[in-house]
Structure 1
């Protein structure tokens, strides 16, 4: 199976690009966040080795055709600020899902809105994708407001949808279609 190719997406102030070794500082910071390691593959309190392995896993997602994992970076400095991914688990049904996080120091700056809009426009341009989905815990107002700013529609509340930190959590389901 051939790997898929990852583009670099420009959003103006931010760039979505593949993860690089220099992004270890952001991943280390994210690994100490109380939530990010519970809902992502970022290792909790990650060691240097675990952080390197996280970066390698992001590249392997292309090889496995599981999806695209982008570092969200500042367009001027190229400093990594967060992560956003387009996941292809249900691509054969015309659907892809999106997940994202921003490092604690970089929150509340509308970084997610810029990145989400860019990856959504690009994702819907892929010939096999007709619907984008994302899932947000109801308490995470910043995340669901970003989704709504980017043209996502809340379709409902999925009760006990996902395990987070050993507990079943409700999730709002959002979608965006062309």
Structure 2
């Protein structure tokens, strides 16, 4: 078993911050569960129920406890949870980790994803000394493409049929950011 991870609190710029998941974040899970896309690409439950939302938060804690990743809640300047960003360590033995993120619809367009991804990338590269970070974005998702590129991730190519999303396999752009590039 891997060592448990301590999910830190991080300042994310633009008034956003990152922190570990709490049971008080169930409203965030509720809003995410009502999104057309977030439940397709995550383990956010849909339809929502309080017990399923509690299980979702407990899964986030379990990821840190098992040493498989750092799940963060994105928090706005007014203290409202608005999204999630995760640093996943499945391929750390090969010198790379991946990031995933989502922001609820009511908070999109305010820079939350960029601030969060930038903060986690800087922390992962500089503090954890991970040599390579990756993220995957569907080609149609222009908001996520802009987020990745603003943070400094470089598009490396198109992975055809890379990921199961809902009932179908979908293409993904692969992006990377190497230690020393940010």
What is the TM-score normalised by the length of structure 2? 0.94
Matched, 1:89 2:120: no
User: Are the aligned partners of 1:94 and 1:128 in contact in 2 as well (CA < 8 Å)?
Assistant: no
* CA deviation after TM superposition for structure 1 residue 126, in Å: 4.2
Q: What are the ranges of 5 or more consecutive residues in structure 2 without an aligned counterpart? A: none
Give the secondary-structure state (helix, strand or coil) at the position aligned to 2:60: helix
Q: What is the deviation of 1:127?
A: 4.3
Asked whether the equivalents of residues 61 and 69 of structure 1 are also in contact (C-alpha less than 8 Å), the reply is yes
Distance in 1 of aligned mates of 2:4 and 2:126? 19
RMSD: 1.0
Q: In structure 1, how many angstroms separate the alpha carbons of the residues matched to 2:17 and 2:92?
A: 24
- How big is each residue's C-alpha offset from its partner over 1:114-144, in whole Å with a ceiling of 9 and x where there is no partner? 1110000001124451000000000000001
Whole-angstrom distance in 2 between the partners of 1:127 and 1:82: 23
CA contact (8 A) 1:27 1:42 kept: yes
- For residues 97-121 of structure 1, the C-alpha deviation after alignment (integer angstroms, 9 at most, x for no partner) is 0000001101111111111100000
Q: Return 48-57 or 127-136, whichever deviates more.
A: 127-136
Within 5 Å, which residues of 2 pair with 1:92-107? Answer: 92-107=93-108
Name the residue aligned to 2:143.
Answer: 142
Per the alignment, residue 72 of structure 1 pairs with 74
Pairing 1:170–2:171 present: yes
Aligned residues: 177
Q: What is the DSSP-based 3-state SS (H/G/I as helix, E as strand, rest coil) of the residue aligned with 1:159?
A: strand
Which secondary structure does the structure 2 equivalent of 1:11 belong to? strand
The runs of 4+ residues in structure 1 deviating greater than 6 Å are none
